[in-house]
Amino acid sequence: MPTTDEIKQEDKKLRYLKLMVDFNMAVIAQTHMPIEEAHKIVSSVKEFAVRLFPEKGEVFDMVYGARFKRLINEKYGLH
């Protein structure tokens, strides 16, 4: 059973990751950049997430990766 401090720390990391995802989605959506640069941003955010939550790369792909993919598909007309 996790301690209260462990739960607080996990919550803090989740909030920080959400902030990073939201910020970088806004950057991709609101700036003119090549698609390769957008993919680099997504890769960097994923690396950051895996540093915070080791062995959770697949979870990132399912949750946030899907959001980034939709955004990039819409922005660059890859439907």
Greater confidence, 71 or 79?
71
pLDDT for the residue numbered 79: 72
Give the residue from 16, 23, 14, 15 showing the smallest Cα distance to 42. 23
Q: pLDDT digit string (tens) for 38-54? A: 999 999 999 999 999 99
pLDDT for the residue numbered 26: 98
